[in-house]
Chains A and B, each alone.
Chain A
Amino acid sequence: MLNNRNDVSTAETRRTLSVLVDNKPGVLSQIARLFTRNGYNIESFTAGTTIDEDITRLTIEVTADDSHTELMVAQLSKMVPVHSVKLLEAEHVIRRELVLFKVHAVTSEVRNEIIQVANIFRGSVIDVSRETLTLSIIGDEKKIDGVRDILEGFGIIELARTGMIALERGKYTINDESKVKGEFNYGKNVL
């Protein structure tokens, strides 16, 4: 009898992990270290407090295959400062990023043209000077790439991005209980 337990996909795709951790010094470096250890580059890493001020929500994006993703979720889950980890499935996730673009705009024609671009992408102008315009745009990477493509024609002086944040669609949350989550808590919390 031969079984198919070794048939796992080795395709590397972009994964979004949502992680709740203690809001304490040292925790972020502990989390970031785990990805380094596994040899993965973090594509995006965001952190911010949640409804509970003592808990930080991290959204981490990496490009990895199935088995390494599983391993990273497992190793994150067993860290003491980690409350929960969820791998957000591509088809059930809403992802957004905020990007600030500072663009060359020396004439009023150019400024008007850029303002139109901002309107089309539902962005806003947040700063203006005699030589520049600064726009803020919210979207997923497709939209951001689209805006960037167009703005490059005017000359982007610099840009800053927040990194991706994400939530699941519908009623599901990171706090939903599951058998696997219970299993992870076992090794960590059984005292």
Chain B
Amino acid sequence: MLMTGAKILMECLLEQGVDTVFGYPGGTNLNVYDELYKYSDKIHNYLTSHEQGAAHAADGYARSTGRVGVCFATSGPGATNLTTGIATAHLDSSPVVFITCNVSGKLLGKDAFQEADVIGIMMPITKAQYLVRDVNTLADDVREAFALARSGRPGPVLIDILKDVTTQTADYEYLPREQHYAHGSLGSLMMRATTSALRMPEPDRQDIETLVKMIDESDKPMLICGGGVTRSRAHMEFREFAKKLDAPTAITLMGGGSMPGDDPLSTGMIGMHGSQASNRACDGCDLLIAVGCRFSDRVALKPSTFARNARIVHIDIDRAEINKNVRTDHHIIGNAKVVLAQLNAMIPQYDHSEWKRYVFSFPRETEYDASTSALTPKEILSTISDMMPEDTIVATDVGEHQMWSIQHFHFSYPGQLLTSGGFGTMGFGLGAAIGAKIGNPEKTVIHVTGDGSFRMNCNELSTEAYYKAPVITFIFNNGCLGMVRQWQELMYNGRYSATILDRGPDFVKLAEAYGLKGRRVSSPEELTDAIKEALSEYSEGRGYIVECTVAQSELVRPMVNGGTHITEFLLN
């Protein structure tokens, strides 16, 4: 059937089962938004305050639902405003398709109004990019983009459509999603694979057997649960593997939720702000099996001595991660879910009680001085987790509150914790929380943030209020950019350069300006009362802000400095 590019785009979104997009209109994507208006019964657009908020919302939607997120923006500034959001999704392997429009073909390259080389800008921060100059390739490009975003190691993909393509017409024929792999450019991509009919190839049998043997030779095994377990939703297989191996298990920031925080085998987070138990186990183990983690510099602080007494085995879907940061002794390439299921079928039940006794003789959680009157991070987070439904989704921003959240909030399923791990994007949380609420309307969504992070993108409060996508925001207000201040305290002799936030706004008044209620609390009783009010507002479809006063002197502990050995604790 003959239709315009804009209409083909809508039909292609429907082929993918898309009913939700986040985005912002502008000059070049007017035709797309005009078509969206006509499709508004099938595809709902959520207008954010800023394109960055839309990018984070699409990302939060993708991370929490496991589906591909979709985000629209216009050319030039619309597209460049997405960049931080795209890079955030890229570093955490989140499947999002970003669809921007560019100026018309005859203006391209002539510094037209709101023109930017969007493909050039996005190349380093996307898995793939498509510049659509011909309406006849549009459907093919969209199908390939969605397939790539969700396949293999997931990631963001960009489609940049020229404005004239959105008005030109081409013949479009509906193609069900299952058949995309056999048609067009996606079909040729499939054919190119070394083995024909590649869909989900089996991991190498020999590699699996080698690991089974290594496991049998080990007395002190340890596991690391990374973001790959979360993305592939391999948590059940992973938990069974950990249980059979009877091995202490650490999580990375991105692995949060895949291994329950309160599991008896769980040692907590590993690395710079890892627990004593995790870091000591990593140093003492004789076999370290890392699943879906990339040994970032926040985990393998000093690669040359990381797990120095162990043989290191890396299980990952992306071959390019092998030997990148830490050199390994063995690796298995494959989807974590498949690899772990095969391993589980081959290994017996082990008992490593003695090794566990050693590991768990070290604390897995930070202790706080109970005598102070100020609210401690642990008090705040355990009160929240006690009063909220068990499956509450938690989106965080970046900084001290983020580390405290992963240390003290015990996540129990993948997609429950939404946090910018790789890119460390302050201002990620509110957009992500709104996206998660829209993708999971039945769940409670909270947003844990700091006073620094929240000031970055608090404009999205209007989005949550307008769409009745309520989010309860908890601000850890310590009057400073805590994480940077912490480094200044420890390594710069207390020269607090540009980190003290002795200025507004008044967050409770800010909430009111957006039509939401809020409360400032500084004691456990006040916190409990505020959460009660927050929950009652929430049940009416309104968000809420709880501003928790936290002492400026409160630091994230433990801490190991970057580049030093994993057990050289700077703070305990």
Contact = CB atoms under 8 A, between A and B. Distances in A.
Given A186-B152, A191-B199, A6 B194 contact: no
Interface stretch (A76-84, A110-118, A129-137): A76-84
A190 B148 CA distance: 9
Contacts of A30: 123
B327 interface: yes
Given A33-B123, A186-B334, A187-B318, A26 B190 contact: no
5 contacts: A67-B323, A80-B128, A187-B153, A189-B151, A190-B198
A8 B129 CA distance: 35
Interface stretch (A86-94, A119-127, A142-150, A174-182): A174-182
Interface of B: 119-120, 123-124, 127-129, 131, 147-148, 151-153, 181, 186, 189-190, 192-195, 198-201, 204, 286, 303-304, 308-309, 311-312, 317-320, 322-324, 327-329, 333-335
A151 B195 CA distance: 53
Nearest to B311: A3
B204 A187 contact: no
Contacts of B200: 190
Contact of B127 (A3, A8, A80, A185): A80
Interface of A: 1-3, 5-6, 8, 25-26, 29-30, 33, 37, 67, 70-71, 74-75, 77-78, 80, 83, 177, 179-191
Tell me if B's interface is mostly helix, strand, loop or mixed: loop
B123 A29 contact: yes
Nearest to A30: B123
A78 to B, nearest CB: 5
Contact of A189 (B152, B309, B322): B152
A191 B147 CA distance: 6
Residue of B324, B329, B333 with highest tally of chain A CB at under 10 A: B333
A187 B309 contact: no
A26 B131 contact: yes
Nearest to B150: A191
Contacts of A182: 194-195, 201
Given A1-B286, A33-B123, A177-B194, A77 B152 contact: no
A191 B179 CA distance: 12
Nearest to B306: A6
A46 to B, nearest CB: 21
B333 A186 contact: yes
Contacts of A187: 152-153, 317-320, 333
Contacts of B328: 5
A186 B322 CA distance: 13
A55 B201 CA distance: 26
A190 B152 contact: yes
Given A26-B119, A83-B192, A184 B204 contact: no
Nearest to A25: B131
A190 B335 contact: yes
A186 B319 contact: yes
A35 to B, nearest CB: 12
Contact of B198 (A6, A8, A78, A189): A189
Contacts of B319: 74, 77-78, 180, 183-184, 186-187
B320 A8 contact: no
A14 B203 CA distance: 34
Nearest to A73: B320
A36 to B, nearest CB: 9
A31 to B, nearest CB: 10
A26 to B, nearest CB: 6
Nearest to B303: A6
A85 B317 CA distance: 19
A75 B186 CA distance: 21
Given A189-B190, A190-B151, 7 more contacts: A29-B120, A37-B124, A71-B324, A186-B319, A186-B334, A187-B320, A190-B199
Contact of A80 (B148, B308, B311, B333): B148
A191 B309 contact: no
Nearest to B131: A26
A74 B320 contact: yes
A19 B399 CA distance: 42
Given A30-B123, A186-B152, A191 B190 contact: yes
Nearest to A34: B124
A30 B194 CA distance: 23
Given A33-B124, A37-B124, A74-B320, A6 B152 contact: no
A184 B124 contact: no
A186 B148 contact: no
A126 B155 CA distance: 52
B295 to A, nearest CB: 13
A70 B327 CA distance: 12
Contacts of B320: 71, 74-75, 77-78, 184, 187
A185 B193 contact: yes
Residue of A1, A80, A181, A184 with highest tally of chain B CB at under 10 A: A80
A180 B195 CA distance: 13
A5 B190 contact: no
Contacts of B193: 185, 189
A5 B123 contact: no
Contacts of B128: 80
Contacts of B119: 26
Contacts of A25: 131
Contacts of A190: 151-152, 198-201, 317, 335
Contacts of A33: 123-124
A50 B124 CA distance: 27
Residue of A2, A71, A83, A182 with highest tally of chain B CB at under 10 A: A182
Nearest to A181: B194
Contacts of A67: 323
A190 to B, nearest CB: 5
Nearest to B304: A6
7 A-B pairs closest in CB distance: A74-B320, A189-B193, A187-B152, A183-B333, A183-B319, A191-B151, A187-B318
Residue of B124, B152, B311, B320 with highest tally of chain A CB at under 10 A: B320
Contacts of B192: 83, 189
Nearest to B335: A190
Residue of A3, A6, A30, A190 with highest tally of chain B CB at under 10 A: A190
B318 A78 contact: yes
Nearest to B201: A186
A184 B322 CA distance: 11
Nearest to A182: B194
Nearest to A75: B320
Nearest to A186: B333
Contacts of B153: 187
B189 A189 contact: yes
A125 B308 CA distance: 63
A185 B198 contact: yes
Given A191-B181, A191-B186, A8 B124 contact: no
B338 to A, nearest CB: 10
